[in-house]
Structure 1
Amino acid sequence: MTYSVNCSILLTELPLLQRPAAAKAAGFDAVEFWWPFASSVPGDAELTRFERAVTDAGVQLTALNFSAGDMPAGDRGLVSWPERSSEFKDNIDVVAGIGGRLGCAFFNALYGNRQDGHTPESQDELAVINLAAAAAGVARIGGTVLLEPLSGAPHYPLRTAGDALRVISRVTGATGAGNIKLLADFYHLAVNGEDVAAVTEKHAPDFGHIQIADNPGRGAPGTGELPLGEWIARSRQLGYAGYIALEYKEPAETAFDWALHQRAS
Structure 2
Amino acid sequence: MGFADQRFNVNLSILFTELPLLERPAAAAAAGFTAVELWWPWVDSPTPERSELDALKRAIEDAGVRLTGLNFYAGRLPGPDRGALSLPGEESERFRANVEAAAGFAASLGCTALNALYGNRVDGVDPDEQDALALENLVLAARAAHRIGAVLLVEALNEPESPAYPLVSAPAAVAVVDKVNAATGLGNARFLMDLYHLAMNGEDLSGVIAAYAGRTGHVQIADSPGRGAPGTGTLPLESLLDQLAEAGYEGWVGLEYKPGDRPSARAFDWLPAAARPARAPRRADSR
TM-score using structure 2 length: 0.89
Q: Aligned runs of 1:144-163 on 2, under 5 Å?
A: 144-151=151-158, 152-163=161-172
Q: Partner of 1:63: helix, strand, or coil?
A: strand
- Map of 2:127 onto structure 1: 120
Identity of aligned residues (%): 51
Checking the alignment, whether the CA contact within 8 Å between 1:75 and 1:112 is kept in structure 2 is: yes
1:131 paired to 2:138? yes
How far apart are the structure 1 equivalents of 2:184 and 2:146? 14
Measure how far apart 1:82 and its partner are: 1.0
Q: 1:256 aligns with which of 268, 272, 281?
A: 268
Measure how far apart 1:178 and its partner are: 1.1
The count of corresponding residues between Structure 1 and Structure 2 is: 264
The AA in structure 1 aligned to 2:65 is: V
Measure how far apart 1:54 and its partner are: 0.6
Q: 1:76 aligns with which of 75, 82, 86?
A: 82
Measure how far apart 1:146 and its partner are: 0.4
Q: Partner of 1:31: helix, strand, or coil?
A: strand
How far apart are the structure 1 equivalents of 2:57 and 2:116? 20
Q: 1:167 aligns with which of 162, 172, 176?
A: 176
Q: Which has the higher contact order (CA 8 A, sep 6+)?
A: 2
How far apart are the structure 2 equivalents of 1:134 and 1:194? 28
How far apart are the structure 1 equivalents of 2:79 and 2:233? 27
Q: CA RMSD in A?
A: 1.4
Gap runs ≥5 in structure 2: 1-5, 276-287
How far apart are the structure 2 equivalents of 1:55 and 1:208? 24
How far apart are the structure 2 equivalents of 1:177 and 1:156? 26
Checking the alignment, whether the CA contact within 8 Å between 2:69 and 2:114 is kept in structure 1 is: yes
How far apart are the structure 1 equivalents of 2:268 and 2:232? 12
Q: 1:103 aligns with which of 110, 129, 148?
A: 110
- Which stretch of the first structure deviates more once superposed, 167-176 or 13-22? 167-176
Q: 2:70 aligns with which of 41, 64, 67?
A: 64
Checking the alignment, whether the CA contact within 8 Å between 2:143 and 2:184 is kept in structure 1 is: no
Measure how far apart 1:173 and its partner are: 2.3
Q: 2:188 aligns with which of 179, 182, 197?
A: 179
Measure how far apart 1:241 and its partner are: 1.1
Measure how far apart 1:60 and its partner are: 0.3
Measure how far apart 1:253 and its partner are: 4.0
